[in-house]
């Protein structure tokens, strides 16, 4: 794998846009650092019409918990981390825009080097009725 595309909720509401991306290095503990695929992230920012939003990633566990595994099992692989603002479900237009932005990276030729991870929770902090609706 060359690049892992990771999509996670913005758990703490720190995102300032519909999607947040951040060109940064990720601490993978004893396995060192996992680097962002900067070129691809710049392309995604352009496709999605967003700027980098480092604030969204300061304490975001939807990404950081995956980095040691990526570093250990796929040394040298890079990541494109995208935090999604808002509660599920995604609006259709929002989901379509994200699909259109990601599609060029998952063609028949490129799907052997790119991998999509959805780092999601079923729900947080809701009562039984709200949880059932979101799940």
Please report the domains of the chain, with CATH numbers, ordered by start residue. Answer: 3-134 (3.40.830.10)
In this prediction, residue 129 has a pLDDT band, given cuts at 50, 70 and 90, of confident
Q: What is the pLDDT at residue 12?
A: 64
User: Can you tell me the mean pLDDT for 102-122?
Assistant: 90
pLDDT of residue 85: 74
Question: Is pLDDT above 90 for 86?
Answer: no
The backbone region for 12, taken as left when phi is positive above 0, alpha when psi lies in -120 to 50, beta otherwise, is alpha
What's the angle, vertex CA 94, arms to CA 91 and CA 85, rounded to 5?
85
Name the pLDDT band for 134 (thresholds 50, 70, 90): low
Chain mean pLDDT for the chain: 84
pLDDT > 90? residue 37: yes
Residue 27 CA to residue 79 CA, distance in Å, equals 12
Average pLDDT of span 15-31: 84
**What pTM was computed for the model?**
0.83
Query: Per-residue pLDDT for 123 more than 70?
Result: no
């Amino acid at each position: 794998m060359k690049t892992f595309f990771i999509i996670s909720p913005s758990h703490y509401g720190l995102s300032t846009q519909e999607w947040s991306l951040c060109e940064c290095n990720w601490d993978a503990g004893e396995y060192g650092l996992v680097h962002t695929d900067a070129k691809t992230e710049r392309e995604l920012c352009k496709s999605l019409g967003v700027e980098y939003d480092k604030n969204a990633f300061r304490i975001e566990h939807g990404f950081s918990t995956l980095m040691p595994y990526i570093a250990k099992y796929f040394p040298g692989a890079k990541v494109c981390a995208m935090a999604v603002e808002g509660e599920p479900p995604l609006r259709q237009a929002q989901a379509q825009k994200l699909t259109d932005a990601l599609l060029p990276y998952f063609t028949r030729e490129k799907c052997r080097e790119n991998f999509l991870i959805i780092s999601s929770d079923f729900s947080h902090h809701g009562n039984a009725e709200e949880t059932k609706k979101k799940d």
